[in-house]
Amino acid sequence: MENTNKLESGFQIKNLILLESSFSRINNVAFGEGVDNNLDINTDVAVNEKVITVAEEVTIVQKFQDIEQVKIKVKMIGIFECIGESPLANLEEFGKINGAAIIFPYIREHITNISLKAGIGAIILPPVNFTKTE
């Protein structure tokens, strides 16, 4: 029987690697009014022939009265391969938009699990539209 699921063109994720994961909190974390949350997302893309490497780093800092209470930093790398002739000619653009969007849910899940284990409640990041982040 012929394999009808064979990818003839497009992009395939080859590997997803957790590069860095750090968490810190103070003993008495404040919740509610006056809490300032900062979310920072950085994405770097490298292209080597038909291999696209996307490094995505998400940092969350929660402060209350200028005191850092919670800090989470997660960095993952995705390695993608261009198969055949892709309709997307710009491989770097694929990495910045599609590659980053593919990696982000894994980072969101990791951050949610860390925050639950830390007893500070679930930190659930909203989805991000990477086409509008530039």
Tell me the DSSP string of 62-94: EEETTEEEEEEEEEEEEEEEEES--S---HHHH
**CB 97, CB 54: distance < 8 Å:** no
**What is the pLDDT, as a whole number, of residue 6?**
61
What number is the average pLDDT over the span 86-109?
Answer: 88
Sheet holding 10-25, edge to edge: 10-25, 67-83, 51-64, 35-48
Is residue 130 helix, strand or coil? helix
What number is the average pLDDT over the span 110-114?
Answer: 96
What number is the average pLDDT over the span 87-112?
Answer: 90
What number is the average pLDDT over the span 107-130?
Answer: 93
pLDDT per residue as tens digits for the range 2-37 = 555 665 558 899 999 999 999 999 999 888 788 898
φ/ψ of 133, rounded to 5, equals -90, -5
pTM of the model: 0.84
Whether the predicted pLDDT of 133 surpasses 70: no
- How sure is the predictor about 108, in pLDDT bands with cuts at 50, 70 and 90? very high
Task: Quote the CA–CA distance of 80 and 47 in Å, as a whole number.
Answer: 10
Q: For a pLDDT cut of 70, what percent of the chain falls above it?
A: 89
Domains of the chain (ranges plus CATH)? 10-132 (3.10.420.10)
**What is the pLDDT, as a whole number, of residue 10?**
83
